[in-house]
């Protein structure tokens, strides 16, 4: 079951990135781009840190 959870988390992360990347690339404002990159970075951090917690259990 853990591999299914990791796979669905990765699919969610990829879909979030696919949604945000066009905005990140086309927005001229640096502040909004940094906010979007921060949100994507937090989601990636959460995905990778939760997979490390699964290995320790």
pLDDT single digits (tens) 4-28: 889 999 999 999 999 999 998 898 8
- Nearest-10 Cα torsion for 45, 32, 27, 48: 0
pTM score, whole prediction: 0.78
Give domain limits for the chain. 2-56
**HSE-up of 7 (CA within 13 Å, CB side)?**
4
Task: Give tens-digit pLDDT for 30-43.
Answer: 999 999 999 999 99
Q: Per-residue pLDDT for 53 more than 70?
A: no
Are the C-beta atoms of residues 1 and 54 closer than 8 Å to each other? Answer: no
């Amino acid at each position: 079951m853990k591999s299914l959870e990791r796979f669905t988390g990765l699919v969610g992360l990829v879909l979030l990135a696919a949604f945000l990347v066009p905005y990140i690339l086309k927005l001229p404002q640096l502040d909004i781009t940094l906010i979007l990159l921060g949100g994507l970075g937090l989601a990636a951090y959460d995905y990778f840190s939760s997979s490390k917690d699964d290995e320790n259990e």
